[in-house]
Each structure stands twice: as structure tokens, then as C-alpha cells.
């Protein structure tokens, strides 16, 4: 025997082992999985044919010329295809295939095609190999060209891996580079020592390293359903974002999953989830299904356009309105289905994960398809939540002051403190938007304390009483009022700044009463007991029980700007006659009840004149000034009326 076939035998065993592992794996739905399978199969066929052809070359007298030829050509074809498949595998692994134009495919395939041309042209050219007398196998002058073409493919693979290295985690980049080097080095050795036959052995080890580093999917599989898990989703989507691959995916979220889990039991639900996964995966050959906790799925169909994905969403909706049967129990689990297009609708990983994490609404009896717009409002809320958190940490909230004019004295009597949030990315975020979010997530306590503290500091540091500013008004949110520590907290801040309770006025919105009335009443009474003046804000917008509100110790009532504007809008157009009557009577009634009355939203001289004629005590609005940052506010009061 001239050739050492021991390495080939070992390679055959390793290839067989890898094929077995691929075969026993649950899911090989991705194109790169298939290409890896082809890659290893070609290795296996190369090893087998190399052994046979080496044997025949060594003992040509034991075979026919045809058999000798057949195994030689077979080996050369499958082995040379390996380097071509290596390039294609790398392209799919990185996710470049969707960006490749037809001519790029042609270019990439040229070396592979040239090798095949050399091989199958050999019977006519005898340039690759020929037989000397007595069937003696001999390399021809073009044999090294075959090596060169393989080298070219391997070099291209390494180039692509390194060029797009950010698309893959470092261990995967390393294992790919090692695998290619494990092909290049032994081929070089074998070029000069053809009898060693070490190529395939090293290649099999290289492929083994890929199997463990890249194709081993244990950590990216959901243990219950065997489908891809959250890690896999993040990995695949990061790749798509990085390679700018447009992609549409469908999210499926079961309504009220926790309830179903407790009602039907975890075991039952696991079966259902498994059935759902199988069904979702069966919706097309190139379908990948990712499973998340809480009965959520994401489905990607490679190569499908938006229209096909819309069709898939519709099929899913229909299926999720039908029962899932297991163990004599058949139950319908309606789901919310959403079509998300990348990069048109979402373009960052955070936005992408939000599409999965966005909670679904109340329990519904039917499945529904929603547009990604519904996710956007939630996404904005989460973004604002994040901005508020950062702003609290970095002390980035600001307080502006809007002067309030006193008709009696004709001067600026006080000012309302209004919180502001400016963000580089989002610009000015209006308090009407972020305060309700802060109320929902509890941040309002910290924001509220900051505003009170900042307003007190501003008043004390600048001795605003010297400017004729009797007090500052601070808005209190419903949630703050429900906290029984609030009065103590405000007193502490005030004491720290050496201010009197009369120098702080607290505005409470009438809708605050819609919450826990008893808690509100306790807080309000306690605050009044400490000597704070209280204003009832936004009067006329809610539907609260006025007799109840009037029983609380408010001294000032702020009529909501909408009441003024419907009587006389900012273009000085008179509104409905009834609106005017409402305004007139509101002011009159409140004054009769001994309240001091503030009108907000005064923008025109005509509105001011109207309010004066009605006997409104104080006015606030753009006519006097918009809310101003502290410095500008000081300047404003210093120069007002001069």
C-alpha cells in the first residue's frame, strides 16, 4: 500500500459521529444547518472514496480501469466541492444570502465551477492526472490549479468571517477560522507529501469544532418545546440588524397565559405549547419558531415577503380560534398576533425585544391581529420611563415657573412650578405625557419630591418674597396624595429651607378624588392643618362630587382653561352662549362661596378683560408669560410693570 489510509479511516469515524449528532438533533430548519449537513456529508463521501481510490491506485492490478477512474473522479469532485460549500455555509451563517445579487452568486461559484470543469475535462485533456503504463496514477501539470482553486475558496471564507466578524460571537469566529486553517495547512503539506492523506482527518476535526461552537444548539433551545429560545432570537436578530437584512416576523401572544397555567395546570399547558410550536413550525419549510416565556412566540419565514407573512398571520389567527386538544380536554387559547417589519417598524434590538415584551390586553374570546402601532405607544412609554429614570439619576429634571397675576394689585402675586424634561433624543417631553406614566410606575413620588425641593430652594435662595412673590404653587399628583408620609415629607423640606407653610401652595386636581377619598381627605386635612394653602386644580373638567370637594379645606379654585376657551377662545371668537353662561356662573358661584378664583390659559387681552369683568381674582396664561426657567422668571418679575 503506497498511501497511508489510517488518517482517512479516523476521518470517516469522526464524520460519521458528526452526522449522527446532526441526525439526532430536533430541528435543522435553518439553511445553515442544512449546508453544514452537506459539508459533513461531502467530507464523509470524500473519506470513503479516498480510501477506495487510494487502494486501487496502490494495487491497480486488483481492479478494472473503469473502477479506478470512477473512484478517482468521484473523490476529486466531492472533495473539491467541500471548499465551495464552505464559502456558501459561511455566507448563510453570517446571513449575507439575502443581500447577494445573482451576479454575486455567479462570482462566488466560479472557482467551484472551474474545479468541476478541470475534473470532468480531464478524460479529454489528461492535464489533471493520467495513468502511466500499468495503470500508474500520475498528477498532471494542472493538478496544482485544483489546489489553487480550493485555496481561493478557503481564503474567501476566512475573508468573509473576518470582514463580518461583528455578526458572530468571538468563539464562533475563532472556530470558523480554526476550521479553515485546519483545511489549509494539511492541504499544503499534502501537496508535497501526497501519500500522507492527512487532509480529511484535519478537516473532520475542524468541522467537529464548528459542530460544538456553532451548530451545538443546546443553549439556544427551549427545554419544553425544543424550539429556539430567547437567546436564539436575540442572536439571529442581532445578525439580521448587523447585516441590514430586511425581515418580517410574526409575534403570537396567548391572552392571559398565567391564568391558563393555573386553571389547566403547567403540564397540560406544556403539551399545548409543544403542539402550538409543532403547528407553527409546519407553516412552511423555511419557518423558524422562537418560544418565549409567558406563552409567546415569534415566527420567521426566511425569504418570505410582507404579503406572505400577512397570509401566515391570518392562518395563525384562524388556527388560534380553534381548540387544542390534549388528554380529553379541548380548549381554545386566543392569541394576539402582530406583524413586525424590520427595519421599517423596528430597527434596534431594544425595540425588537419590546415587540415581544409588550403586554397583551385583557382576556379576549377571539384571536386578533394588531398592527405594530399598538406596540409603539407601549414602546414610547417604556422609552419615557427609561428617560425619567436617567433624569432622576442625573438630576436632569428642570422646574419652570409661570407667573400668576393678581387683578387687585396688578402685580405678579405668585407662580406655578411646572416640571420639565428635555432629552437629547426625544426633545421636550411634555409633562402631560410623562406624569401619567410616572404615576403608573411610582416614579411620581421622586419627581414630586424633587419639584417641591427645587421650588423651595428657588424661593429661599432668591428671597422671592422681596420680589413680591407671596408663594409658589406646586402640583400634587393623585398618587402623591395617597401617600400618608407626604405631609411630613413636605414639612421637612420646608423646614430645611427655612420657609413658612404659607409660602407654598399645593394644587390638587379634582379628579384626585376619584381615587381613595378617605386617604385624600386625610392628606388634605393634614396639609391644611400645617398651614399650607390648597388649590383645587382643573376645576370643571371632572365629574367629581362637588359637595364633597367643597367640604375639603381648599382656599383657591383654578378654573380649567378649557372652560375659558369655550366661552372665548384665543382668537377671541365667542363660543356657545351656554359656555359663556357657564363661565360667568362658575366664577360668580365660587366667589360667593368665598373662594379665591384663578383662571388659567389667558392668552388675549379680550380674555383678560372678560375675566376682570366677571370678578376673577387671579389670572395665569401666555398673555402674561409662558412658564420660564428660573433665571428668566427672576428677570420677568424684576421688570414686570416697569
Footprint (CB under 5 A) of Ca ion, residues 516-575: 537-538
Q: Measured from the CB of residue 535, what is the shortest distance to Ca ion in angstroms?
A: 8
Q: Which is nearer to Ca ion, 435 or 637 (CB)?
A: 435
* Listed residue (326, 469, 320, 501) closest to 405, CA to CA: 469
Q: Does 507 bind Ca ion (CB under 5 A)?
A: yes
**Residue with smaller CB distance to ligand C2E, 97 or 537:** 537
Helix (H/G/I), strand (E/B), else coil: 573: coil
Q: How far is the CB of 574 from ligand C2E (least distance, A)?
A: 18
Name the residue nearer to ligand C2E (CB basis): 80 or 607.
607
- Contact between 407 and 624 under an 8 Å Cβ cutoff? The reply is no
Binder of ligand C2E out of 600, 614, 619, 630 (CB under 6 A): 600
- Within 388-435, strands assigned E span 398-406, 411-423, 427-429
Q: Which among ligand C2E, Ca ion, none contacts residue 112 (Cβ within 5 to 8 A by kind)?
A: none
- Is 620 an interacting residue with respect to ligand C2E (CB under 6 A)? yes
Stretch that binds ligand C2E, among 57-65, 74-82, 347-355, 595-603 (CB under 6 A): 595-603
Q: Is 627 in the site for ligand C2E (CB under 6 A)?
A: yes
- Can you give the three-state secondary structure of 368-398, one letter per residue? EEECCHHHHHHHHHHHHHHHHHHHHHCCCCE
- Convert residues 387-426 into a mask of x (bound to ligand C2E by CB under 6 A) and - (unbound): ---------------x---------------xx-------
203 near ligand C2E, judged by CB under 6 A: no
Cα 447-453-456 angle, rounded to 5 deg: 140
Partner interacting with residue 621 (select from ligand C2E, Ca ion, none; CB below 5-8 Å by kind) = ligand C2E
Residue 432 contact among Ca ion, ligand C2E, none, beta carbon within 5 to 8 Å by kind: ligand C2E
* Pick 430 or 531: Cβ nearer ligand C2E: 430
Tell me if 533 sits within 8 A of 554, measured CB to CB: no
Binding to ligand C2E by residue 621, rule CB under 6 A? yes
Nearer to Ca ion, 200 or 598 (CB): 598
Report the DSSP beta bridge partners of residue 619. Answer: 405, 599
d(CA 469, CA 463): 9
Residue 236 touches Ca ion, criterion: CB under 5 A: no
- Strands 335-342 and 368-370 come out as parallel
Residue burial 411-431, b: 16+ Cβ < 10 Å; e: rest:
ebbbbbbbbbbebeeeeebeb
Q: How far is the CB of 539 from ligand C2E (least distance, A)?
A: 10
Distance CA 72, CA 74 (A): 5
Q: Which C-beta is closer to Ca ion: that of 171 or that of 553?
A: 553
Kindly tell me which residue out of 218, 373, 425, 432 binds ligand C2E, with binding defined by CB under 6 A: 432
Q: Is residue 510 near Ca ion by the rule CB under 5 A?
A: no
Binding segment (CB under 6 A) for ligand C2E, from list 57-65, 352-360, 428-436, 572-580: 428-436
Q: Rounded to whole angstroms, how far apart are CA atoms 470 and 136?
A: 112
Q: Is 430 in the site for ligand C2E (CB under 6 A)?
A: yes
Least spacing, CB of residue 349 vs ligand C2E, in Å: 33
Place of cell 425569504: 303
Give the chain's length.
642
Instruction: Spell out a b/e string for 465-490, using b for 16 or more CB atoms within 10 Å of the CB, else e.
Output: eebebbbbbbbbbbbbbbbeebbebb
What values do phi and psi take at 136, rounded to 5?
A: -85, 115
Per-residue binding string, Ca ion, 452-481, x by CB under 5 A, is -----------------------x------
**For the chain, how far is it from start to end, CA to CA, in angstroms?**
113
User: What does 435 bind: ligand C2E, Ca ion, none (CB cut-off 5 to 8 Å by kind)?
Assistant: ligand C2E
- Give the binding range for ligand C2E (CB under 6 A) out of 104-112, 157-165, 302-310, 430-438: 430-438
Q: Which of 391, 601, 614, 616 binds ligand C2E (CB under 6 A)?
A: 601
Cα–Cα distance for residue pair 183/42, rounded to 1 Å? 14
Stretch touching ligand C2E by CB under 6 A, among 131-139, 459-467, 515-523, 621-629: 621-629
Q: Which residues contact 377 (CB under 8 A, 6 or more apart)?
A: none
DSSP secondary structure code for residue 1 in this structure: -
Task: Determine contact, residues 324/307, Cβ cutoff 8 Å.
Answer: no
The number of angstroms, rounded, from the C-alpha of 191 to the middle of its chain's C-alpha atoms is 51
**Sequence-separated (6 or more) residues with CB below 8 Å from residue 73:** 119, 120, 122
Residue 60 DSSP one-character state: G
Smallest distance, ligand C2E to C-beta of residue 458, A? 13
Residue 174 or 623: the one with the smaller Cβ distance to ligand C2E is 623
Q: How many angstroms separate the CA atoms of 513 and 545, rounded?
A: 8
Residue of 43, 431, 487, 501 that binds ligand C2E (CB under 6 A): 431
| Residue 69 within binding range of Ca ion, rule CB under 5 A | no
Residues 477-516 touching ligand C2E, rule: CB under 6 A, are 477
| 549 close to 509: Cβ distance less than 8 angstroms | no
Residues forming the site for Ca ion (CB under 5 A): 475, 507, 537-538
Under the rule (CB under 6 A), what is the footprint of ligand C2E? 402, 418-419, 430-432, 435, 448, 451, 475, 477, 537-538, 600-603, 620-622, 627
Amino acid at each position: 500500500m503506497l498511501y497511508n489510509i489510517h488518517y482517512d479511516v479516523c476521518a470517516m469515524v469522526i464524520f460519521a459521529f458528526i452526522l449522527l449528532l446532526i441526525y439526532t438533533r430536533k430541528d435543522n430548519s435553518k439553511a445553515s444547518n442544512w449546508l453544514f449537513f452537506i459539508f459533513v456529508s461531502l467530507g464523509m463521501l470524500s473519506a470513503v472514496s479516498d480510501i477506495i481510490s487510494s487502494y486501487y491506485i496502490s494495487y491497480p492490478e486488483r481492479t478494472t480501469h473503469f473502477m479506478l477512474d470512477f473512484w478517482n473522479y468521484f473523490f476529486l469532485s466531492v472533495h473539491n466541492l467541500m471548499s465551495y460549500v464552505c464559502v456558501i455555509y459561511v455566507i448563510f451563517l453570517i446571513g449575507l444570502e439575502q443581500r447577494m445579487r445573482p451576479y454575486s452568486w455567479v462570482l462566488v461559484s466560479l472557482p467551484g465551477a472551474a474545479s468541476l470543469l478541470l475534473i470532468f475535462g480531464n478524460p479529454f485533456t489528461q492535464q489533471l492526472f493520467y495513468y502511466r503504463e500499468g495503470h500508474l496514477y500520475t498528477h498532471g501539470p494542472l493538478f496544482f490549479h485544483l489546489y489553487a482553486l480550493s485555496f481561493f475558496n478557503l481564503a474567501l471564507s476566512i475573508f468573509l468571517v473576518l470582514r463580518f466578524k461583528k455578526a458572530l460571537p468571538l468563539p464562533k469566529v475563532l472556530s470558523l477560522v480554526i476550521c479553515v486553517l485546519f483545511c489549509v495547512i494539511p492541504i499544503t503539506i499534502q501537496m508535497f507529501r501526497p501519500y500522507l492523506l492527512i487532509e480529511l482527518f484535519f478537516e473532520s476535526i475542524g468541522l467537529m469544532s464548528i459542530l460544538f461552537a456553532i451548530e451545538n444548539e443546546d443553549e439556544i433551545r427551549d427545554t419544553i418545546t425544543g424550539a429556539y429560545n430567547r437567546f436564539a432570537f436575540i442572536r439571529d436578530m442581532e445578525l439580521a440588524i448587523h447585516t441590514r437584512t430586511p425581515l418580517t416576523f410574526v409575534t403570537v401572544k396567548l391572552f392571559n397565559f398565567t391564568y391558563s397555567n393555573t386553571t389547566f395546570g403547567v403540564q397540560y399547558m406544556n403539551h399545548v405549547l409543544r403542539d402550538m410550536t409543532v403547528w407553527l413550525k409546519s407553516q412552511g419549510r423555511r419557518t423558524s419558531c422562537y418560544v418565549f416565556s409567558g406563552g409567546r412566540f415569534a415566527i420567521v419565514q426566511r425569504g418570505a415577503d410582507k404579503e406572505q407573512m400577512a397570509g401566515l398571520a391570518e392562518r395563525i389567527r384562524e388556527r388560534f380560534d380553534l381548540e387544542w386538544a390534549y388528554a380529553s380536554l379541548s380548549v381554545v387559547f386566543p392569541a394576539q398576533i402582530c406583524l413586525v417589519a424590520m427595519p421599517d417598524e423596528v430597527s434596534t434590538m431594544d425595540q425588537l425585544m419590546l415587540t415581544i415584551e409588550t403586554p397583551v390586553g385583557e382576556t379576549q374570546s377571539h384571536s386578533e391581529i394588531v398592527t405594530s402601532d399598538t406596540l409603539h405607544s407601549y414602546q414610547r412609554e417604556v422609552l419615557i420611563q427609561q428617560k425619567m429614570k436617567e433624569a432622576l439619576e442625573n438630576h436632569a429634571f428642570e422646574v419652570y415657573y409661570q407667573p400668576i397675576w393678581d387683578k387687585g394689585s396688578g402685580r405678579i402675586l405668585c407662580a406655578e412650578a411646572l416640571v420639565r424634561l428635555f432629552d437629547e433624543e426625544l426633545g421636550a417631553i411634555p409633562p402631560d405625557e410623562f406624569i401619567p406614566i410616572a404615576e403608573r410606575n411610582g416614579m411620581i413620588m421622586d419627581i414630586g419630591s424633587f419639584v417641591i425641593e427645587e421650588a423651595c430652594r428657588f424661593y429661599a435662595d432668591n428671597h422671592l418674597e422681596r420680589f413680591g412673590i407671596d408663594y409658589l404653587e406646586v402640583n400634587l399628583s393623585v398618587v402623591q396624595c395617597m401617600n400618608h408620609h407626604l405631609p411630613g415629607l413636605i414639612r421637612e423640606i420646608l423646614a430645611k429651607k427655612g420657609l413658612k407653610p404659607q409660602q407654598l401652595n399645593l394644587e390638587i386636581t379634582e379628579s384626585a378624588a376619584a381615587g381613595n377619598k378617605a386617604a385624600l381627605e386625610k392628606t388634605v386635612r393634614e396639609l391644611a392643618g400645617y398651614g399650607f394653602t390648597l388649590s383645587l386644580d382643573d376645576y370643571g373638567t371632572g365629574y367629581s362630587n362637588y359637595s364633597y370637594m367643597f367640604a375639603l379645606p381648599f382656599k383657591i379654585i383654578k378654573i380649567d382653561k378649557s372652560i375659558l376657551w369655550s366661552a372665548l377662545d384665543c382668537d377671541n371668537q365667542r363660543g356657545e352662549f351656554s359656555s359663556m353662561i357657564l363661565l360667568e356662573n362658575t366664577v360668580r358661584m365660587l366667589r360667593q362661596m368665598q373662594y379665591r378664583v384663578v383662571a388659567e390659559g389667558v392668552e388675549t387681552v379680550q380674555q383678560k378683560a372678560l375675566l376682570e369683568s366677571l370678578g376673577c381674582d387671579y389670572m395665569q396664561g401666555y398673555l402674561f408669560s409662558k412658564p420660564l426657567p428660573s433665571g428668566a422668571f427672576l428677570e420677568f418679575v424684576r421688570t414686570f410693570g416697569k
